[in-house]
Amino acid sequence: MASRYGGRVEKTFVQEGDSLKPGQVIVQLEAPELRARRDSVAAQMAELEAGPRKEEIEAARHDWEALVAHPGMVLSPILLGELETLLEQIIVEAFDHRLIRQL
């Protein structure tokens, strides 16, 4: 018998010689790296469910308004790319937020 993940056996639910059923839990592993990964994914889900922060939206709006106010201003390709990426992220996050709320 082997586990996909490493860890220390924390609790045993069966004894040697017991009959087992498919899907039955045999042991509980203590695996700190899996717990950390689970917590990280839970934090990402909470962030997606909350949607973009008001501060992020306001900062992007401010940057956009500054660009519109100076239409003759020449932007470096790097800055322009960063602004496009920021606006795309906000749009995607807002869209994802609406989808999650519909579920």
Residue 99 is predicted with a pLDDT of: 57
- SS3 call for 2: coil
- The whole-number pLDDT of residue 52 equals 73
Tens-digit pLDDT string for the chain (103 aa): 666 767 788 899 999 999 999 989 888 888 788 788 888 888 888 877 777 777 877 887 787 777 767 766 666 666 777 777 887 787 777 766 665 555 5
Q: Are 7 and 29 a contacting pair, CB within 8 Å?
A: yes
* CA distances from residue 13 to 2, 25, 34, 71 in whole angstroms, order as listed: 16, 7, 20, 69
Query: Tell me, what's the pLDDT at 19?
Result: 92
Which residues does residue 27 pair with via DSSP β-bridges, in sequence order?
12
